[in-house]
Amino acid sequence: MAARVLVFYGSYRSDRMGIRLADYVVSGLRARGAETELIDAKAVGLPMLDRMYKEYARGTAPAPLEALAAKIREADAFVFVTGEYNWGMQPGLKNLTDHFLEEWFWRPAAVASYSAGRIAGARASLMWHGTLSEMGMVVISSTLTVGPIAQALSADGRPIGEAGKFLDQAFPRFVDDLLWWTEAAKMQRTRKSPPY
């Protein structure tokens, strides 16, 4: 059965650029046979965190929260596409992520970062590693770092120029690593129930 991978992206800006990388990752994973869905935090539109999903009595969570909880539970792996605002995380993606906890457990996560400059969102990527790990995911060591994003990907998410070439060179190893851990975690989940 194909691996089910959710790709998360969380910029709410009208002129957002990171959607290019999110689209690139989604089509690259599909080309490798993974059943892949983009979860665009802006489109999901969760409010600023009030109650976490688990704090609602069964069947009473707002519909978008319930639907997303089901998708996360059914997924085998996650990719977080992150930009960097003032050396930090983008609040839209962090807000969405914080609504859940146990739903994330026992699955691998990979981080793909980008920015307008050559630092390529590396500082936000570092922060996501700690956060995703705290939330019970196995954060893989392979990362993508894309910058300047405008010189690496066209508006429809196709690689362009030298930076795009580097991205295409890095992508196969990133996916290999993610799918290796996806298979390992999936096998372990079928062999042994998680302790909760």
Ligand X SMILES: Cc1cc2nc3c(=O)[nH]c(=O)nc-3n(C[C@H](O)[C@H](O)[C@H](O)COP(=O)(O)O)c2cc1C
Question: How many Å apart are CA 143 and CA 79, to the nearest integer?
Answer: 10
Indicate whether 119 belongs to the interface with ligand X (CB under 6 A): yes
Question: How many Å apart are CA 105 and CA 88, to the nearest integer?
Answer: 24
Structural contact between residues 71 and 64, judged by C-beta atoms closer than 8 angstroms:
no
Residue 53 in 3-state DSSP?
A: helix
Q: For ligand X, which stretch binds (CB under 6 A), given 112-120, 161-169, 173-181, 183-191?
A: 112-120
Is the Cβ of residue 102 or residue 151 nearer to ligand X in the bound state?
151
Largest CA distance in the chain: 52
Binding to ligand X in span 135-154, by CB under 6 A: 149
CA distance from start to end of the chain? 25
Strand-pairing partners, residue 5, are 36, 77
For the CB of residue 153, give the shortest distance to ligand X in the complex, in Å.
11
Indicate whether 18 belongs to the interface with ligand X (CB under 6 A): yes
Applying CB under 6 A, among 8, 24, 53, 83 the residue interacting with ligand X is 83
Is the Cβ of residue 115 or residue 125 nearer to ligand X in the bound state?
115
Indicate whether 87 belongs to the interface with ligand X (CB under 6 A): yes
Residues that bind ligand X (CB under 6 A): 11, 13, 16-18, 83-87, 115-117, 119, 149
